[in-house]
Amino acid sequence: MVRVLVIGAGCTGGAVALHLKEKLGQVVHVWEKARGAGGRYTTSRETVDGVELKADMGAQYSSVDTKDTESVALMQRIVDEGAAALVTEGELAESAERPPSWSQYRGIGGQNGIIKAMLSMAEAEVTYERRVSKIDVKGNSWIVTPFDAAPQSFDCVVMCVPGCGPGGDNLNKIHGNWERKLSDADWRSVEVPHDCRFSVALFLKAGCKKNLAKFFEDKVEKVVSDCQNVELLIWQSRKDGADPDGPQVVVLHTPQGAKGNKQAALPRMIKDGCGTLGIPTGAVQASKIITWYQSQVTTNQSRRNPCHVASAKPPLILAGDYFTSSTFTGCAQSAQAAASEAARLLGESGPVESSTVEPKAVKQAELRVNGATESRGSGGDKSSSKRSKCAECSYNGECILDKTDGNQYCKKCWKAYYGKLPSTGMGA
């Protein structure tokens, strides 16, 4: 059985996990840096007057191209799982991301419920709050090192994180020798322009029904053009079918190109949002703000491949909406292509016997000393050392020969990778 890792539990990652489960006949591992699934389908929760309220802080709906049969079929499976429902077109504000011929779906229990449904159907082994630090090729495997745990070995890795950009967990924030698999042209191609927005959730006490109904009329969303800090307002509670007489939730989005500190922006957005809605700021019982540094792709990606094979052996594939479009269909297209490539490449390479690098495990190594070799734990003459160049950081000095790949590594790189040095008396 091969070991496959999907990095990122957003829309693309969830779909990749599901497709790989069906193509390989086995569950896959999914690592997600956040506390839960969703990515830009994130849903926050807050309790007001004993009532639990939720707020979709990213994508408000899942946009599905009715002409794309695969994404239509995938969404239908999610609907059948009870995790999504079709939205009446007249309830929504007009948006360039929502062409008239497309269908819109809301997540039951929040937009992140759509991702949770795909991961559930995939029976994926998901680890949350697992952020990746490094990815290195060693022989026929990828050694993936998280910030919080020991490295593990995988036969295939699919990276479903945003492309290069200002966010905290983009491709350019994950280091290791995998980076050498991309040419300069490849790196330029994954640096795709996105817009930047702030999103604010206002959790309101009961008694706002009249003012909200006057502003939104028969809509769930409304776009305003005369407000500096707010562009789109969503009546989340109406969207979810909640009791309008109880506590309410309204989500605000800034115009494209948000800048500055989000905490400094929060009081301005609350003031402008409440003023636009005609409610007092005292009605706000709690609030939350998120910065979306890479909110939506702003360029036409229709001519690009829906994913990128960075390495064929062992397979490492990049996938995400930056190859297609910031829609459910765009994510589904990239996921389908990435899963197909992964299955094909794993099939071509034949069965692979895989093993996990256990915590603090140290593989057999040899230390070059005075032209001789010293095996792990053997002790030896270290009166003088032979200078070598570290294959990881290019340090020139005393290095350890890693028999798994034939390269030599300095003490710092060895310890960062394996957790401790071989028993040769080299010190920490």
Q: Give the pLDDT band (50/70/90) at residue 219.
A: very high
Report the distance separating Cα 146 and Cα 400, nearest Å: 23
Q: Please list the residues that pair with 367 across neighbouring strands.
A: 374, 400
How much is the average pLDDT of 236-243? Answer: 95
How much is the average pLDDT of 341-362? Answer: 59
What is the average pLDDT score of the chain? 86
- Residue 375: predicted pLDDT: 32
pTM: 0.81
Q: Which two tokens stand for residue 56?
A: 């979709």
Which residue segments constitute the domains of the chain, with CATH numbers given? 4-42+60-194+298-349 (3.50.50.60), 197-292 (3.90.660.10), 365-418 (no CATH)
Residue 42 has pLDDT above 50, yes or no: yes
CA-CA-CA-CA torsion sign (165, 166, 170, 175): positive
Report the distance separating Cα 285 and Cα 203, nearest Å: 6
pLDDT in tens, 356-393: 333 333 333 333 222 333 332 222 223 334 578 887 77
Report the distance separating Cα 62 and Cα 103, nearest Å: 8
- The Cβ-side half-sphere exposure at 228, using a 13 Å CA radius, reads 4
Q: Which residues contact 96 (CB under 8 A, 6 or more apart)?
A: none
Contact 166, 195 (CB under 8 A): no
- Residue 174: predicted pLDDT: 95
- Residue 267: predicted pLDDT: 94
- Residue 347: predicted pLDDT: 92
Return phi, psi of residue 343, to 5°: -65, -40
User: Which secondary-structure segment (H or E) carries 412?
Assistant: helix 411-418
How much is the average pLDDT of 322-351? Answer: 91
Q: Give the pLDDT band (50/70/90) at residue 261.
A: confident
- Residue 238: predicted pLDDT: 96
pLDDT in tens, 134-181: 999 999 999 999 999 999 999 999 999 998 887 777 899 999 999 999
Task: Label the pairing between strands 4-7 and 156-159.
Answer: parallel
- Residue 299: predicted pLDDT: 73
Distance between first and last Cα of the chain: 36
Q: Which two tokens stand for residue 365?
A: 């190594």
Residue 201 has pLDDT above 90, yes or no: yes
